[in-house]
Amino acid sequence: MDNGLPAGFRLGVAEAAFKKPGRNDLALLLSDRPAAAAGLFTTNKFQAAPVLAGRERLRVSPTARAVLINAGQANACTGEEGMFRCRQSREMTASLLGISPDDILPASTGVIGAQMDMRAWERALPALAGNLGRAGLEDFASAIMTTDAFPKYARRKLCIGNENPVGIAGAAKGAGMICPDMATMLAVVFCDAVMDPGEWRSLLAGAVDASFNRVSVDGDTSTNDTLYGLANGASGVSISGTRTAILGKVLTEVLEELAYMLVKDGEGATKVMHIDVVGAANDADAERAARAVGGSQLVKTAMYGKDANWGRVICALGRSGAAFNPDDVVFVLCGVELFSNGKPAPPHYEDLLTPALAQRDIRMELRLGYGPGKYKLLASDLTHDYVSVNSDYRS
Amino acid sequence: MDNGLPAGFRLGVAEAAFKKPGRNDLALLLSDRPAAAAGLFTTNKFQAAPVLAGRERLRVSPTARAVLINAGQANACTGEEGMFRCRQSREMTASLLGISPDDILPASTGVIGAQMDMRAWERALPALAGNLGRAGLEDFASAIMTTDAFPKYARRKLCIGNENPVGIAGAAKGAGMICPDMATMLAVVFCDAVMDPGEWRSLLAGAVDASFNRVSVDGDTSTNDTLYGLANGASGVSISGTRTAILGKVLTEVLEELAYMLVKDGEGATKVMHIDVVGAANDADAERAARAVGGSQLVKTAMYGKDANWGRVICALGRSGAAFNPDDVVFVLCGVELFSNGKPAPPHYEDLLTPALAQRDIRMELRLGYGPGKYKLLASDLTHDYVSVNSDYRS
């Protein structure tokens, strides 16, 4: 049966009511055989219990059978008791599945500081195991949501020569506390190619760097950011040598699609800014410039207001720390050049932008000079709804 | 006649209607004699014409007779034409006052990118000169406002021994695009002490570092940030040697009072967070931690929502880049310890905070460990009104 997933994987979801009842909030990905496994984790100094546990497992062995995710309780800043409960949740699940607890990679998302409700786990796990294989990718993506407005998932098939197609699927969650840095929000990507674990890890790291590491909703990097990638080999197609780059490209596409959805679903967001910096002295300077612009509250609110207030972009660039000559800077908003040679374009140019600024996707091109440095960043706007969602999160 | 100002200074205001009519938007401070003059300016790479002109004047000579400020047009990103108009405004004013244009320190605030309306200058300047000496400190502070909700001014008298009292007065403006860095928003402080220009400058720099450089509304450093300080000696009281520290303390108090008002009047703000970091490895790390917390959109919205969501503070600290051991961290909110030893306090502790979180001033103490590093920062919250003001600024 083709369930639309990469071969040899099953999904399950269940309701544990960690935060409130009425929705699935427990999700399981199970491979029918050991898979090459890699993880990328938050760089925050405070690391949630499942981050510490998942990291430790992958340090010992780059393989796994399952990924287990709960939504509603982050199990972060919970001390040793939190580590113990994380272990318990893996042990209970493992005994139902007949696998080792070590083979389960854990992830949690939700409010920081609350201990996980182990009775909720106990009640829900039999349903989760019973549901295995009946849940689709959308069900899985829905079960890991918190403040997300819609489930985020993507998939591809890759056909090389006469071999079986290789399947890749991914799901992600995240709408707030998003500014991943060398890691990402909660996301899982799984693939049925035969891969060496080391190569799989570096492929994944490259794809994450080109996708999740280039989005910003609110500049905060959470305590729980985790991306797990499993490659179980069930397609029988070996990926190595020159084929690796081909798979890497498709993998990057899947992650880019998910990363775009994170920004589109940024808490309260109405816009996705595509910030494209070129001509910087080096890539690090281009990144500084892009992050200053994409992170500026004043730029974000101007975009929300459909206001071509380019002075705020220039101001953010000016404080970014990037090296450049102000007279070399060119700023193009949705195809209209608004600033160059140290001077603004004629005022009526802004009127040309009215239709473009009404769209969801806003393209910004910033040329800093004539260097080789470049960087792209996706960022959301800052809206009344963002404030509503975040001033009222826990009530 | 005692006008409540430091001796030998007069103020004038007038309406030029740079942005819209119905309010004074032109302000002049004139000393009856040459004053020791110092300026601290924005670190933004894009520097407004008056910043470039004021900086150049003070490079040539650390003295001045006047400060001239217009509100509504920032004269930033305006190229050579902007420099020319800045010069014109100083020349027109100087000929009315019978002084040299070089003796006038200029400052502008308002929308970036618009050229100054020179006919508005021409029409308003005679009224400004005619009004000289009739305006008080509050009138002056009101005339330099843009999105400010209230005028910001402060004054002190310092009596040393049997000598004449020394007067110090200051005014500031700023509500958005505020995260001064080695400089400040538009502010003027003037004093009638007899001071060596070099000592006056370093006194001022120290006082700014302890006040304006420690506030953050939205993390943006504007193209126009300027603080001018004039000491004209009209009291006849010489300040040097051990007296310098005494004057420095009072000067710092005046600037702290103004800096607090900037945060209190942060666009849409309902809260002033007093973020006090101690026990860091060094002061730079303490500053990183304070700025990460004070700049976090999630912390700012939680405070607006009167929500003791300490997990967001801990999360911001964790990504700040400051070095510390997570288990050493202690977080105290309004006197209640919410996090220590890697674990949260009992949940009912948060209920104790309900009355405190309803207040305007919110005290946060973060201990990172046992090092000597410390830093204090004032920061505002992030509210629906902030978004309203900034998504609708130019309309």
Beta-carbon separation of A218 and B298 below 8 A = yes
Domain end position, chosen among A264, A288, A320: A264
| Band of pLDDT at residue B327, cut at 50, 70 and 90 | very high
Question: Which whole number is the average pLDDT over B335-358?
Answer: 89
**Same domain for B86 and B30:** yes
Beta-carbon separation of B77 and A296 below 8 A = no
Beta-carbon separation of B344 and A382 below 8 A = no
Check whether B106 has a pLDDT greater than 50: yes
CB contact at 8 A, A68 and A107: yes
**Same domain for B86 and B60:** yes
CB contact at 8 A, A146 and A163: no
What six digits make up the tokens of B364? 């946060």
pLDDT digits (tens, 9 = 90+) for B260-271: 998 898 888 999
Dist CA A227 CA A229 (whole Å): 7
Instruction: Considering the candidates B78, B93, B146, B184, report the single residue annotated as catalytic.
Output: B184
Residues 6+ apart with CB under 8 A from B188: B29, B67, B69, B107, B140, B170, B171, B172, B227, B228, B229, B230
Question: Which residues in chain A are closer than 8 Å to B221, comparing Cβ atoms?
Answer: 315, 318-319
Please report the pLDDT score of residue A371 as a whole number.
96
What six digits make up the tokens of B109? 């605030």
Dist CA A251 CA A227 (whole Å): 13
| Band of pLDDT at residue B2, cut at 50, 70 and 90 | low
Which one-letter amino acid corresponds to residue B112? I
Task: Name which of A220, A297, A315 is nearest B315 (Cβ-Cβ).
Answer: A220
What six digits make up the tokens of B128? 């400004």
In our burial notation (b when 16+ CB lie closer than 10 A, e otherwise), range A36-49 reads: bbbbbbbebbbbbb
**Same domain for A338 and A241:** no
**Same domain for B291 and B179:** no
Nearest Cα residue to A356 out of A378, A383, A338, A375:
A338
Task: Name which of A179, A302, A326 is nearest B391 (Cβ-Cβ).
Answer: A302
SS3 content of chain B, % helix, strand, coil (to 5): 35, 25, 35
| Band of pLDDT at residue A394, cut at 50, 70 and 90 | low
Question: Which residues in chain B are closer than 8 Å to A298, comparing Cβ atoms?
Answer: 176-177, 218, 220, 390
Dist CA B339 CA B343 (whole Å): 6
What six digits make up the tokens of B261? 């008002």
Question: Which residues in chain B are closer than 8 Å to A43, comparing Cβ atoms?
Answer: 319
Question: What is the percent of chain A where pLDDT is above 70?
Answer: 95
The minimum CA-CA distance between B79 and chain A, rounded to whole Å, is 5
Beta-carbon separation of A301 and B391 below 8 A = yes
Nearest Cα residue to B217 out of B73, B365, B394, B383:
B383
CB contact at 8 A, A344 and B82: no
Question: Which whole number is the average pLDDT over B338-362?
Answer: 89
Which one-letter amino acid corresponds to residue B29? L
CATH number of the domain enclosing A377: 3.10.20.340
Question: Which residues in chain A are closer than 8 Å to B392, comparing Cβ atoms?
Answer: 305, 307
Question: Which whole number is the average pLDDT over A312-318?
Answer: 91
Question: Which whole number is the average pLDDT over A381-391?
Answer: 89
Domain end position, chosen among A224, A243, A264: A264
Q: What is the DSSP string of B119-149?
A: HHHHHHHHHHHHHTTT--HHHHHHHT-SS-S
Question: Which whole number is the average pLDDT over A144-157?
Answer: 91
Question: Which whole number is the average pLDDT over B60-82?
Answer: 94
Residue of chain A minimizing CA distance to B347? A114
Our CA dihedral for A336, A340, A344, A346, rounded to 10 degrees, sits at -50
**Same domain for A160 and A277:** no
CB contact at 8 A, A66 and A201: no
Dist CA B290 CA B284 (whole Å): 10
Which ipTM score applies to this complex? 0.79
Beta-carbon separation of B343 and A318 below 8 A = no
CB contact at 8 A, B299 and B316: yes
Please report the pLDDT score of residue B334 as a whole number.
93
Beta-carbon separation of B391 and A305 below 8 A = yes
CB contact at 8 A, B37 and B44: no
Determine the straight-line distance between the first and last CA of chain B, rounded to whole angstroms. 44
Q: Confirm whether pTM is higher than 0.90.
A: no
Question: Which whole number is the average pLDDT over B8-17?
Answer: 97
Residues 6+ apart with CB under 8 A from B314: A46, A77, A112, A223, B329, B331, B339
Task: Name which of A77, A220, A393 is nearest B319 (Cβ-Cβ).
Answer: A220
Q: Give one word for A107, left, alpha or beta, with left for phi > 0 and alpha for psi -120 to 50.
A: beta
Q: Is residue A4 part of a domain?
A: no
pLDDT digits (tens, 9 = 90+) for A106-150: 999 988 888 999 999 999 999 999 999 999 999 999 999 988 889
Span of A1-5, A279-283, A324-328, B324-328 with lowest mean pLDDT: A1-5
Domain end position, chosen among B264, B281, B302: B264
Residue of chain B minimizing CA distance to A316? B220
Which residues of A are known catalytic residues?
Answer: 184
Q: Give one word for A170, left, alpha or beta, with left for phi > 0 and alpha for psi -120 to 50.
A: beta
Beta-carbon separation of A78 and B324 below 8 A = no
CB neighbour class for A196 (10 Å; exposed up to 12, middle 13-18, buried from 19): middle
Please report the pLDDT score of residue A177 as a whole number.
59
Residue of chain A minimizing CA distance to B368? A45
Check whether B395 has a pLDDT greater than 70: no
The minimum CA-CA distance between B244 and chain A, rounded to whole Å, is 33
Question: Which whole number is the average pLDDT over B84-94?
Answer: 98
Beta-carbon separation of A220 and B383 below 8 A = no
Q: Is residue A247 part of a domain?
A: yes
The minimum CA-CA distance between B310 and chain A, rounded to whole Å, is 8
Please report the pLDDT score of residue B141 as a whole number.
96
**Same domain for A301 and A356:** yes
**Same domain for A322 and A189:** no
The minimum CA-CA distance between A303 and chain B, rounded to whole Å, is 7
Check whether A217 has a pLDDT greater than 80: no
Question: Which residues in chain B are closer than 8 Å to A319, comparing Cβ atoms?
Answer: 43-45, 179, 181, 220-221
**Same domain for B364 and B236:** no
Please report the pLDDT score of residue B221 as a whole number.
67
pLDDT digits (tens, 9 = 90+) for A269-292: 999 999 999 999 999 999 999 999
Domain count, chain A: 2
Average pLDDT, chain B: 91
Dist CA A127 CA B57 (whole Å): 77
pLDDT digits (tens, 9 = 90+) for B375-390: 999 999 999 998 988 8
Question: Which residues in chain B are closer than 8 Å to A76, comparing Cβ atoms?
Answer: 311, 315
Please report the pLDDT score of residue A21 as a whole number.
93
Nearest Cα residue to B206 out of B229, B175, B232:
B229
Q: Is residue B248 part of a domain?
A: yes
- In Å, how far from its chain's centre is CA A19? 22
CB atoms within 10 A of CB A359: 12
Check whether B45 has a pLDDT greater than 90: no
How many residues are recorded in chain A? 395
CB atoms within 10 A of CB A28: 25
pLDDT digits (tens, 9 = 90+) for A21-53: 999 999 999 999 999 999 998 888 889 999 999
Question: Which residues in chain B are closer than 8 Å to A383, comparing Cβ atoms?
Answer: 387, 391
Question: What is the percent of chain A where pLDDT is above 90?
Answer: 72
- In Å, how far from its chain's centre is CA B218? 14
Strand ranges, E, within chain A:
9-14, 26-41, 63-73, 104-111, 152-158, 166-172, 187-191, 215-216, 226-231, 272-280, 330-333, 336-340, 343-344, 361-367, 373-380
Dist CA B29 CA B36 (whole Å): 14
Tell which of B41, B43, B46, B217 to mutate to test the A interface (max A CBs under 10 Å).
B46
Check whether B71 has a pLDDT greater than 60: yes
**Same domain for A208 and A125:** yes
Beta-carbon separation of A315 and B112 below 8 A = yes
Residue of chain A minimizing CA distance to B324? A45
Dihedral sign of CA atoms A195, A199, A205, A210 in order: negative
CATH number of the domain enclosing B142: 3.60.70.12
The minimum CA-CA distance between B103 and chain A, rounded to whole Å, is 27
CB contact at 8 A, A260 and A274: no
**Same domain for A278 and A260:** no
Q: Is residue A1 part of a domain?
A: no
| Band of pLDDT at residue B9, cut at 50, 70 and 90 | very high
Task: Name which of A46, A314, A395 is nearest B315 (Cβ-Cβ).
Answer: A46
pLDDT digits (tens, 9 = 90+) for B199-249: 999 999 999 989 988 887 666 667 788 999 999 999 999 999 889 999 999
Q: Is residue B138 part of a domain?
A: yes
Q: What is the DSSP string of A124-189?
A: HHHHHHHHTTT--HHHHHHHT-SS-SS-EEEEEEE--TTSPPEEEEEEE--SSS---SSS-SSEEE
Range of the domain at A101: 9-264
**Same domain for B303 and B218:** no
The minimum CA-CA distance between B291 and chain A, rounded to whole Å, is 13
Nearest Cα residue to A303 out of A341, A359, A234:
A359
Residue of chain B minimizing CA distance to A112? B311
Q: Is residue B52 part of a domain?
A: yes
Question: Which whole number is the average pLDDT over A236-253?
Answer: 93
Question: What is the percent of chain B where pLDDT is above 90?
Answer: 72
Please report the pLDDT score of residue A14 as a whole number.
98
Residue A45 is given by DSSP the state S
The minimum CA-CA distance between B255 and chain A, rounded to whole Å, is 23
Question: Which residues in chain A are closer than 8 Å to B317, comparing Cβ atoms?
Answer: 45-46
Task: Name which of B76, B220, B298 is nearest A316 (Cβ-Cβ).
Answer: B220
Tell which of B267, B298, B381 to mutate to test the A interface (max A CBs under 10 Å).
B298
Q: Is residue A183 part of a domain?
A: yes
The minimum CA-CA distance between A96 and chain B, rounded to whole Å, is 31
Check whether B315 has a pLDDT greater than 50: yes
CB atoms within 10 A of CB A241: 8
- The C-alpha angle with vertex A208 and arms to A207 and A211, in degrees rounded to 5, equals 90
Please report the pLDDT score of residue A222 as a whole number.
72
- The C-alpha angle with vertex B22 and arms to B18 and B25, in degrees rounded to 5, equals 40
Question: Which residues in chain B are closer than 8 Å to A343, comparing Cβ atoms?
Answer: 77-79, 81
Residue of chain A minimizing CA distance to B341? A79
**Same domain for B340 and B215:** no
Question: Which residues in chain B are closer than 8 Å to A85, comparing Cβ atoms?
Answer: none
Check whether A395 has a pLDDT greater than 50: no
Contacts across the A-B interface (CB distance below 8 Å): 196
pLDDT digits (tens, 9 = 90+) for A63-118: 999 999 999 999 998 999 999 999 999 999 999 999 999 999 999 998 888 899 99
Tell which of B351, B390, B395 to mutate to test the A interface (max A CBs under 10 Å).
B390
Question: Which whole number is the average pLDDT over A258-276?
Answer: 91
| Band of pLDDT at residue B173, cut at 50, 70 and 90 | very high
Q: How many CA atoms lie within 13 A of B41 on its CB side?
A: 24
Q: Is residue B356 part of a domain?
A: yes
Average pLDDT, chain A: 91
Please report the pLDDT score of residue B214 as a whole number.
87
Tell which of A42, A108, A112, A285 to mutate to test the B interface (max B CBs under 10 Å).
A112
Question: Which residues in chain A are closer than 8 Å to B267, comparing Cβ atoms?
Answer: none
Give residue for tokens 């959109």: B297
